[in-house]
Amino acid sequence: MQKTLRVLYLLLICFVTHTAFAQGRLVSGKVTADDGSDLPGVSVVVKGTTVGTTTDASGNYRIDVPANSRLVFSFVGYSSKEVTVGNQSTIAVRLDASASNLDEVVVTTFGTAKRSSFTGSAGTISTAQIQDRPVNNIVQAIAGAAPGVQTTAGSGQPGAAPDIRIRGFGSISSGSNPLYVVDGIPYTADIATLNPNDIESISILKDAASTALYGARAANGVVVVTTKKGQKNRSSINIRYTKGFSSRGLQEYERVDATQYYPLMWETYRNSVAYRTTNPLSLSAANTDATNRLVSLVGYNIYNVPDNQLVGTDGKLNPNAKLLYSPDDLNWEKPLTRQGNRDEMNASFSGGQDKTDYFLSLSYLNDKGFLIRSDYERYTGRLNINTQMKPWFKTGANLSATFIKSNQADVPAAGGTTFVNPFFFSRGIGPIYPVYAYDPNNPGQFLTLPNGDRQYDFGNLSALNLPNRPQYGGRHAVAETQLNQNFFRRNVLGARVYGEVSFLKDFKFTANFGTDITNTNTVVYGNPIIGDGAPAGRATGTFQNIMGYNLNQLLNYNKVVGSHTFDVLLGHENFHTTDNNLTGSRSQQILDGNVELINFTTTTNLSSQYNIRRVEGFFSRVNYDYNQKYFLSASVRRDGTSKFYKDSRWGTFYSVSGAWRLDQEEFLKNIPSVNALKLRGSYGQTGNDGGGITAQDAADNTISYYAWQPLYNLNFNNASEAGILQASLGNRNLAWESSNSFDVALEFGLFKNRVTGTVEYFNRQSANLIFDVPLPLSAGISSVTRNIGTMYNRGIEIELGIEPVRTKDFTWRIDLNATHLKNKITKMPAENPEIINGTKKLAVGQSIYDFWLRDFQGVNPQTGEVQYRADKFVAANTRVTETGDTLTTSVNNARFHYNGTAIPAISGGITNTFRFKGFSLSALFVYQLGGKVYDGAYASLMSAGGYGSAKHVDILQRWQQPGDITNVPRLDAARTADFDAASDRWLTDASYLNMRNVTLSYSLPGVTAKRLFLNNVQVYVSAENYLILSKRKGMNVQQTFAGTTDNVFSVAKNIVLGVSLTL
């Protein structure tokens, strides 16, 4: 690490050059609020120029100004103030907290706008909300920050980014991810490759008025990322270092221990022979049989008593039994996890002269996750430069590079039950199986390898006179995780360049070009000793190149005529991406330690693909305002995409919007408690062609790039003759999904802006939804892609900011947001009006995440059998209760019904921020109220059978004898199909509270910092995911939007200590 720091320091020195300030008077001073507190970050600009600076953490500033100039001081939430410099060299300024949040600048489509004149809907996140948090990517910082935005918890794998949805779910079969735009150009690389410390702001565009100019790609919202730039006439060096630690953020489910496990397995077998329908044993005979057969069923006896005395005929563990091993020997999670370590170094140099500004940054991140063989190493560099070459010509470039190396444990993104998945294995294996092989000749001792290490117990070592496991035999999560490899290297190069020409006073022409090039090399290796790669070893290598470029030309006309302001935009955009990938797999490893494909002899797979996506667009926008009081905006865009046939590939998208600043009306100007009041509304249409070639789309559900034409699978043969096989039917009528959005909102600021907020209603109608419509078997093709279906997302968003305390030394601010969302399908394909997908059924009148499950009706108190509401009366398995309910014990006769939805009633975030002199404490809580989650991971731990599988502690509440009242059926290995079936028994309240982040920071007083020859010194500690509360311990409510749980990579909790030095 020290070597890395030295390299970063030397690189900075190479780039640092001192610039001369413009000639004129040097003015310095301090800016304070009306309560006397220091105001950091205040903009100080020479009026009529672009020369400016900002105040430091103590409110101090220094600027060179021309003679006879005026300085303009402005800050969000405060009234701007102009001061004539004259002969003054020291100017102290006090700003009054009477301005509104309507002065905030929002980065929009192809430009920026003050919130006061902005007619669309957008949420904003500033660099201050990101820079101190231990997040590896910007998506992790979005959770809870803005209303209408939902994110999943994300994976604990370092470098992984969570999913995001804006105002519900825009599609069923095609992509639902938002469009990411970085410095004005759509971003085709993985958003996780951006360095969060390079980010100046994030704008989340939510309605048609703010997204329609992106047309074909904006149906699911737009996330606009703006990177930092330098400040003119002020140079600054910032060095930031953090040291962090990570561990598992979500505790494991509560499971029974070894002393409870053996009696449960005894009972599982006893009931299977005592309650079977054919030749059942008496309870006495079944008890004896279970006692004698128990160890042969589970394979292992880890106590110091004989096998047939481990559990008595009364079903209780022998009171004389003592464990031969320590609990740690039976703990599979311990050798799979570790204390994660995180080191991050960021260094930046920024500044500028009258005509040029620049920002240079370098960073290094090394994040070793809490799971063994999970790490993430990232190097980034960025150079942003802008220069006014001529009074009429401005140009600039944003250049970036990212280099990533990462090892990943073999945990599928969706979880699953593969034995190599360490979370599935360690969660599901019974508590009686040791990680290491014990010595059968020396009870309590373990076998060792020649190098002295303990030998792993693979569960099938009968040759060593060891028992076999009934579950997970021949597999070992710890050994496979250590011996296998799954790593990737990724290089990302990005560039944004522009040229801007001003002419004829009111006209401006801008040409922008952007490109992102991603090269990824992935190697997945299976060892030859144990697991899927045994006995010869195997490897798969994937090489992928994704290149996207975007070229747009913008012509702006801006004219002020009295109280009328006109802003007209005409533009053209061309978007082109290519995806070239090659995958090869080989087996039969030759030499140990070499995982390159050349070290394997047999080729098992070799394939390649080259995909292209193109989008061409023409667009226009007109903004008008009268007297900064009434605002109107209209836009239109015509897009063509390569994903549809030539007769269907063009679509037209539009928006109209308006706003009225009531606070500027005479009848409100004299009401001191009303500082800001704006009413706005919008309506428009955006499109969705099913996603495309970006790293974000790779994890999303997208339609084929060539769905309009028939596709064929190659590499088939008939004996010695090569051949092809038709894979899909084309549909030349396939066209855009469209999203029609209506939005109305009231924005306000009250009591000197101590209370600010927005109340907003939105209605998003998605039409022409793309479905894979099933075809009859005689067609030879399973389905065809068609535009059939409509759906809406409606809701209310509330955003509120309150300052209960605002004094000279102490402030307390509360920011909260809440979203209520309702989703409903209004049209389905006539050929298939109902589509069952796992725990859901899509149908008209339901949401896309309504649960369709068997109707669980508890447990029969006389027999201990699971009861479901019956679909029909069948004498063999059905009974009618005293209340008239028809119940069945057969899963095949159970009636399905809708029962709740995964969509919560309310979701949002709450942030409390306290500031006292140089101290700052902020806490962000993300919450969800209502909705349901199908806890499949819990269901697997509650199985009525499964010798060798772990059990949840709730299994202790099972039915044991006639008359027991419980919702947990009897244990019975012969009835798992009926007792364990998917039903609403496994639905749980999805409400949760997550303390997503807590940050405590301290900034040295400006005078003290200057004594250290520094402008600012800040130290801080920040914690992420340190509290997650939900209905059940271990349940990952935030895993998916669909409300299901699985054996995924558990979310991580992180704590970092950091220091930031500014010179």
Q: What is the pLDDT of residues 91-109, one digit of tens each?
A: 999 887 654 555 667 777 7
Same domain? For 446 and 457 the reply is: yes
Same domain? For 390 and 443 the reply is: no
Same domain? For 863 and 963 the reply is: yes
Report the sign of the C-alpha dihedral through residues 691, 694, 697, 702, in that order. Answer: positive
pLDDT in tens, 394-416: 999 999 999 999 999 888 888 88
Q: Which residue has the higher pLDDT, 684 or 15?
A: 684
The answer to whether position 11 is within a domain reads: no
Question: What is the SS3 assignment for 873?
Answer: coil
* 217 pLDDT above the threshold of 90: no
In this prediction, residue 564 carries a pLDDT of: 94
Where does a domain end: 76, 99, 122? Answer: 99
Burial of 989 per CB tally in 10 Å (0-12, 13-18, 19+):
middle
Same domain? For 696 and 726 the reply is: yes
In this prediction, residue 681 carries a pLDDT of: 96
User: In the numeric block, which tokens belong to residue 602?
Assistant: 């047999």
CATH number at residue 87: 2.60.40.4130
CA distances from 385 to 111, 189, 233, 360, 624 (A): 18, 22, 14, 9, 32
Same domain? For 541 and 444 the reply is: no
pLDDT in tens, 702-726: 667 888 888 888 777 766 677 888 8
Look at the chain and report how many structural domains it folds into: 4
Which of 72, 400, 58, 85 shows the shortest CA–CA distance to 228? Answer: 400
Segment among 97-111, 953-967, 977-991 with least mean pLDDT: 97-111
The answer to whether position 951 is within a domain reads: yes
Where does a domain end: 47, 82, 99? Answer: 99
User: In the numeric block, which tokens belong to residue 921?
Assistant: 């404490």
Instruction: Compute the distance between CA of residue 183 and CA of residue 228 in angstroms, rounded to an integer.
Output: 10
DSSP for 929-982, written as a single string = ES-EEE-HHHHHHT-S--TTB--BGGGGGB--STT---SBPPP-GGGHHHHSS-
Q: Which residue has the higher pLDDT, 890 or 68?
A: 890
Where does a domain end: 917, 935, 968? Answer: 968
CATH number at residue 501: 2.40.170.20
The answer to whether position 211 is within a domain reads: no
Same domain? For 603 and 654 the reply is: yes
Kindly state the helix (H) or strand (E) to which residue 291 belongs, with its residue range. Answer: helix 283-298
The answer to whether position 909 is within a domain reads: no
In this prediction, residue 103 carries a pLDDT of: 61
In this prediction, residue 706 carries a pLDDT of: 84
Instruction: Compute the distance between CA of residue 49 and CA of residue 380 in angstroms, rounded to an integer.
Output: 33
Question: What is the number of residues in the chain?
Answer: 1063
Cβ count near 962 (within 10 Å): 10
Instruction: Compute the distance between CA of residue 621 and CA of residue 624 in angstroms, rounded to an integer.
Output: 10
Q: Once rounded to an integer, what is the mean pLDDT over residues 591-601? A: 95
The answer to whether position 196 is within a domain reads: no
Percentage, residues of the chain above pLDDT 70:
94
The answer to whether position 333 is within a domain reads: yes
In this prediction, residue 260 carries a pLDDT of: 97
Instruction: Compute the distance between CA of residue 422 and CA of residue 482 in angstroms, rounded to an integer.
Output: 11
Q: Once rounded to an integer, what is the mean pLDDT over residues 514-519? A: 96
pLDDT in tens, 662-694: 999 988 888 989 999 999 999 999 988 876 555
Instruction: Compute the distance between CA of residue 616 and CA of residue 195 in angstroms, rounded to an integer.
Output: 30
* 697 pLDDT above the threshold of 50: yes
pTM of the model: 0.88
**Confidence grade of residue 1009 (pLDDT, cut at 50, 70, 90):** confident
Beta carbons of 587 and 607 less than 8 angstroms apart: no
Instruction: Compute the distance between CA of residue 162 and CA of residue 152 in angstroms, rounded to an integer.
Output: 5
In this prediction, residue 719 carries a pLDDT of: 64
The answer to whether position 687 is within a domain reads: yes
Which of 783, 762, 582 shows the shortest CA–CA distance to 684? Answer: 762
Q: Once rounded to an integer, what is the mean pLDDT over residues 153-182? A: 88
Residue 25 makes CB contacts below 8 A (sequence gap 6+) with 64, 65, 66, 67, 85, 89
In this prediction, residue 74 carries a pLDDT of: 82
Q: What is the pLDDT of the chain when averaged over all its residues?
A: 90
Adjacency order of strands within the sheet including 896-901: 835-837, 840-842, 850-854, 896-901
Same domain? For 609 and 521 the reply is: yes
The answer to whether position 135 is within a domain reads: no
Q: Once rounded to an integer, what is the mean pLDDT over residues 870-884? A: 87
Same domain? For 284 and 360 the reply is: no
In this prediction, residue 10 carries a pLDDT of: 39
In this prediction, residue 409 carries a pLDDT of: 86
Instruction: Compute the distance between CA of residue 427 and CA of residue 839 in angstroms, rounded to an integer.
Output: 22
* 919 pLDDT above the threshold of 60: yes
In this prediction, residue 944 carries a pLDDT of: 95
The values of phi and psi at residue 562, to 5°, are: 65, -120
Q: What residue numbers bound the domain in which 881 lies?
A: 856-894+943-968
Q: Which residue has the higher pLDDT, 106 or 517?
A: 517
In this prediction, residue 478 carries a pLDDT of: 96
pLDDT in tens, 445-470: 899 999 999 999 999 988 788 889 99
Same domain? For 694 and 551 the reply is: yes
Same domain? For 449 and 435 the reply is: yes
Same domain? For 421 and 559 the reply is: no
